[in-house]
Structure 1
Amino acid sequence: MIVSLLILLLLVCVYIYFFPFIPRRKKHYTYGLLLGCPSHDDGTMASSQIKRCNLAIDMYKKGLYDTLIISGSNVKNQYVEAKVMNDYINNRIEIPTILETHARNTFENFKLSKEYIQNQDVLILTSQTHAKRACAIAKHFFSDYSCAWFKDLKMKHILREIISRVIYIKIELLKKIGKY
């Protein structure tokens, strides 16, 4: 029993170390960074894309950021995530926008968007299941960031995120020992 509790405590500590609390949200950011996700193979938008776009629109209307960066390439099919999401947003509202169309994953979303954001503050826009890992990665690129998300409780998204978090921890551990 004690060994089990110690193992559980160790796992909780490791988790908190790699996925610290999301920084408290300020009232305003220079940039909003909308993280992409793939369209369906026929080019129609996935529900997660639509929800992320609506989140970006809502946060802009609330005055939480000045300029939107939409990041995402054509990872799963020929449709470039940033362009598809930009079209959706532009059909609803005019927001100053920068498209980053080369990122193929969350790490690259931040790495490639850093060129635009530099040392400015940024509000990350994503889903609830993705927010914790996104912020864990963002801390490597930005000193002043937080996150806004929409509720996402789809089982397939939760399972995919669990796997992604395990992979993230593995990569971070390999980096620490110089093998990545």
Structure 2
Amino acid sequence: MTRRTLFTLIAVLCLVVAGTVTGRMAWFYLSIPSSNTALTHFDTLIVLGNPCNSDGTPGPEQRERVLESVRQYQQGIAPRIIMSGGAAHNQWIEADSMKKLAVSQGVPADAILEDTKAQNTIDNIVNSSAIMVTQGWHSAEVVSSPSHLPRAALILQHYTTIAWRTDASRWPPEYHFAVILAIYASEIKDCWQIHTNGFAARRRPAYAPALSTQTR
């Protein structure tokens, strides 16, 4: 067997293995449940944060998530909204920007609660769940970008006992296909890491409730 033939065989084998792993990752990602309840109306909507622009205005995904929550609110899916997001990526508090946009779209200010501390998706869900406990609420529809919802669902399964379902916002019209594809690839990788390694202790907020027995 020549070196060229051996190299070709190794390359083909690597592609087959990579394809198999990639396929398993994608299959797991697509199999993550989008809800744990048959409810169609909820105590609250939860909108997961996304960065503001450098001038404090809503970034593209943040804008689309908020606009989707406004549509859901106006359809009567829930009577209130929790906006979750701190100054995680720049000096601007995401929840403030999100609330301002929702109010400008006709949602009453007193129908919106804010979590201004969250630094990541686990924080978004843990903090919002804590707000729900203080209010005596037990169900939520969680709004985020389409690619983000499977990871959010894994976190909801792991860190909460509420009834929930997820709802996808629209992609920003300014996003090209390649950008969306890259975002999906990153989320598939993140979900697979959670599946294989569980939730790393370093990512667990100090104020998070005791973990459930589910580790994947």
Structure-2-length-normalised TM-score = 0.69
Q: Which residue of 2 aligns with 1:100?
A: 115
AA aligned opposite 2:63: I
Q: 2:88 aligns to what SS in structure 1?
A: coil
Q: Does 1:122 align with 2:134?
A: no
Alpha-carbon shift at residue 135 of structure 1 (Å): 1.0
> How far apart are the structure 2 equivalents of 1:144 and 1:104?
23
For residue 26 of structure 1, report the CA deviation from its aligned partner: 2.5
1:172 to 198, 206, 213: 198
Distance change in 2, residues 1:166/1:68 (3 Å): same
Change (3 A) 1:41 1:164: farther
Structure 1 Cα separation of the partners of residues 155 and 56 of structure 2: 29
1:155 aligns with 2:170: no
Unaligned runs of 5+ in 2: 1-12, 172-176, 202-211
Counterpart check, 1:110 vs 2:136: no
2:153 to 110, 135, 140: 135
CA contact (8 A) 2:83 2:115 kept: yes
User: Radius of gyration: which is bigger?
Assistant: 2
- Work out the CA distance in 1 between the residues paired with 2:63 and 2:98: 8
Count of matched residue positions in the alignment of Structure 1 and Structure 2: 171
What is the identity percentage for the equivalent residue pairs of Structure 1 and Structure 2? 20
Map of 2:8 onto structure 1: none
Residue of structure 2 aligned with 1:20, choices 15, 24, 32 = 32
Per residue, is there more strand in 1 or in 2?
A: 1
SS at match of 2:119: coil
Q: Give the 3 Å change call, closer, same or farther, for CA 169–43 of structure 1 in structure 2.
A: same
Gaps of 5+ in 1: none
Question: Once superposed, which parts of structure 1, at least 4 consecutive aligned residues long, lie more than 4 Å away?
Answer: 173-176
- Offset at 1:11? 3.3
